[in-house]
Amino acid sequence: MYFYRENLHMRRDSLIYLTYFHMGIALNIFHVATVIVLQLNQSAAEPELKYQRIMHRVKEYMRDKKLPENLRNKLKIYYEYRFQGSYFKENAICGTLSSHLNQEIMVHSSRALIETSTILHALPRNVLSNLMGVLKPVIYLSEDVIYKSETLADCMFFVVSGTVALITFNGKEICHEKDGGYFGEAALIYPDKRRLESVITLEVCELLRLNRRDFKRMFTHKCTFYERLERAAEIRRDQINKLTIAVIEAEMTQMYNTETDVEDENGKDYERERTDKETDHEKSEENDEDAEPSDDAAAAEEKNDFEGNDEGRKEDGENGEG
């Protein structure tokens, strides 16, 4: 149709060949453009597609392991929070970047923590960048136990988002740490001492972990950041000790009151028993007194009978003599 509509059959062969050549080039360009657009769309949707594939594998894994419903929900929440609906190989991307760029990215990603955490405010820019470069991101779900009291430790944590509760070994709540907070600093200052508190998450929490090895490598005993952490650890330790002593005193007071109540109850029982014994003794004496007159009356009657018999014998004697 195009051949006859444009009257190509009436033109020279060279013009016809040139026209077809241009049409071929245009078609090729169109095909290439279509492929590029499709590839761009696919690459744009690739993180979401990879995320969907991963979630499908996770569901297959949970089904194969026959996990309970509560554990399945935890896994789903973790992956949803961790990848935010898209998946990409972060390690592969960061591996192609320089250490300086990685530090800059980490500082930018943690800017909310840097702005809200007062203990980090006085750090120089280069020190802060180095610190952000060694922090390890970790995610905990709601009601997860981060660590328990009386355990050895080699790290502390900064709270990027979420809320955690610090609890003493006997269950007394110390405080809550929220965005910008930190805990576990005593592990960096006192390496040979055990944890004084347990830490439990109250919601999904994103934390940054600072290992003691990196801390010792970056900060000396005389630097400002070390002194700040040392003061914070001392304040936390005093707070925990006061709460522990208060709980012990309350328990001892309760035990003393319980023992006193028991002693009072025993004393009341003893007094009641003694009163009952005295009452029984008095009743016994009254019964004895009531019984004595009866014995006297019987003795008097017996005496009268004896005297009457004696008089009768005397009268019989007198009658005989007469």
Q: For the chain, how far is it from start to end, CA to CA, in angstroms?
A: 195
Among 188, 174, 173, 196, which residue's Cα sits nearest to residue 219?
A: 188
Cα separation, 278 vs 281, in Å, equals 5
CB distance 47 to 88 below 8 Å: yes
Interval 175-213: pLDDT, tens = 999 999 999 999 999 988 899 999 999 999 999 999 999
pLDDT at 112 (0 to 100): 84
Half-sphere exposure of 23 (CA within 13 A, CB side): 8
For residue 236, the tally of other CB atoms under 10 A from its CB is 19
Check whether 322 has a pLDDT greater than 50. no
For residue 240, the tally of other CB atoms under 10 A from its CB is 21
Say how far residue 301 (Cα) sits from the centre of its chain: 95
Cα separation, 197 vs 150, in Å, equals 8
Helix (H) or strand (E) holding 284: helix 224-321
CB distance 55 to 15 below 8 Å: no
- Name every residue whose Cβ is closer than 8 Å to that of residue 233 and which is 6 or more positions away in sequence: 185, 186, 188, 189, 190
Interval 50-107: pLDDT, tens = 778 888 888 888 888 888 998 888 888 888 888 776 666 666 677 777 877 877 888 8
Interval 118-167: pLDDT, tens = 899 888 888 888 898 899 999 999 999 999 999 999 999 999 999 999 99
Longest dimension (CA), the chain: 209
Cα separation, 290 vs 284, in Å, equals 10
Cα separation, 150 vs 148, in Å, equals 7
DSSP string covering 172-196, please?
-EEEEE-TT-EE-THHHH-TTSPPS
CB distance 165 to 176 below 8 Å: yes
> Mind spelling out the 3-state secondary structure of 8-61?
HHHCCHHHHHHHHHHHHHHHHHHHHHHHHHHHHHHHHHHHHHHHHHHHHHHHHH
Cα separation, 91 vs 13, in Å, equals 60
- Which tokens hold the place of 212? 């003691």
CB distance 150 to 214 below 8 Å: no
164-168 vs 173-177, strand pairing mode: antiparallel
Say how far residue 275 (Cα) sits from the centre of its chain: 57
Percent of the chain with pLDDT over 70: 68
The whole model's pTM is what? 0.64
Cα separation, 22 vs 34, in Å, equals 18
